[in-house]
Structure 1
Amino acid sequence: MSVEEKNKKAVYRLNEAVNKGNFSIFPDMFAPNYVYHTNPEIKGVEGFQSLQTMMRNAFPDYHEKIEYIFAEGDMVAQFYLLTGTFKGALAGTSPTGKHLSFPVVVLSRFENGKQVEAWNYSDSLTMTQQLGIGSQG
């Protein structure tokens, strides 16, 4: 199996774990110095686990469905649809009960089979509007 195929397989494995709330495999998936470039930037396995716990608490039905995935060398790009229902507090914002469905692109870099960094690109305006917490104009 090529490095690209192994890295794509690792992304699918992580996706399955996130969707099932199985965060115990995270240490096997990420390098200790992992950095998730998002706003705010997340560092380390513990930081990523905290982010996923926060999302799972806010969206108990949180789900990521990979629509497209591409790999070249040590990089994997994935385009997924994130869905969930806003039922728990999120960063000090009260839940609205509204459903969320929006696209996310993540570009991940691997070393020795583990993610060392990733960049998250998502439409925060659409997300906040769908949740009923953002500007409508």
Structure 2
Amino acid sequence: MRSTYELINTGDIAGFGDLLADDFVEHQGGPGFPDTKEGTLAFFRALLDAFPDLHMEVEDLIADGDKTVARVTTTGTHRGDFMGIPPTGSSAGMQLIDIMRFDGAGRVCEHWGVADMLTLLQQLGVVPASAPV
């Protein structure tokens, strides 16, 4: 699982793709991208176009059977179009929770995830930050 993040951090999407099973299923998915291996690779290419210095840091990693769960902090600078949002030049970060299931060959065959998109959109200035309570 750590290898997936390390390859994305270096921009090696082809290498990341080698870690995904051919019948990989994405259960979270980026908007407008198919829930397949190719759709996931296209999503990460687009994400790296938008945040070329994207960095994913594993904070916690828990494994049980064929599934692994990670709490991940992401950081990057918004330098390209992201979900229709023109580049802001803003530095941004958010938390992710990822669950990956591995097949018998050790490839990722399924992914579920939760991303703190509200915080990201607030940092990009698209959504106003909430007032203190």
Scaled by the length of structure 1, the TM-score of the pair is 0.86
Q: Which has the higher helix share?
A: 1
Task: Please state whether the residue corresponding to 1:43 is helix, strand or coil.
Answer: coil
Aligned to 1:103: 95
For residues 63-117 of structure 1, the C-alpha deviation after alignment (integer angstroms, 9 at most, x for no partner) is 1000110100000000110000111111221111111111110011111111111
Letter of the structure 2 residue corresponding to residue 22 of structure 1: D
Task: Please state whether the residue corresponding to 1:57 is helix, strand or coil.
Answer: helix
Deviation at 1:136, TM superposition (A): 2.8
Farther off after superposition, 32-41 or 80-89 = 32-41
Aligned to 1:123: 116
Unaligned runs of 5+ in 2: none
In structure 1, distance between residues paired with 2:40 and 2:85: 20
State, as a whole percentage, how many aligned pairs show the same letter: 31
Residue of 81, 87, 90 corresponding to 2:82: 90
Structure 2 residue 6 is matched with structure 1 residue 22: no
In structure 2, distance between residues paired with 1:134 and 1:82: 19
Deviation at 1:49, TM superposition (A): 1.1
User: Does the 8 Å contact 1:36/1:117 carry over to 2?
Assistant: yes
Letter of the structure 1 residue corresponding to residue 55 of structure 2: H
Unaligned runs of 5+ in 1: 1-10
Task: Please state whether the residue corresponding to 1:116 is helix, strand or coil.
Answer: strand
Task: Please state whether the residue corresponding to 2:119 is helix, strand or coil.
Answer: helix
Aligned to 1:76: 68
> Residues 89, 27 of structure 1: CA spacing in aligned structure 2 closer, same or farther, 3 A cutoff?
closer
Number of aligned positions between the proteins: 127
Scaled by the length of structure 2, the TM-score of the pair is 0.88
Letter of the structure 2 residue corresponding to residue 97 of structure 1: G
In structure 1, distance between residues paired with 2:74 and 2:34: 19
Farther off after superposition, 122-131 or 22-31 = 22-31
In structure 2, distance between residues paired with 1:53 and 1:114: 20
Letter of the structure 1 residue corresponding to residue 26 of structure 2: Y
User: Does the 8 Å contact 1:26/1:45 carry over to 2?
Assistant: no
User: Does the 8 Å contact 1:35/1:42 carry over to 2?
Assistant: no
Greater than 6 Å deviation, 4+ residue runs = none
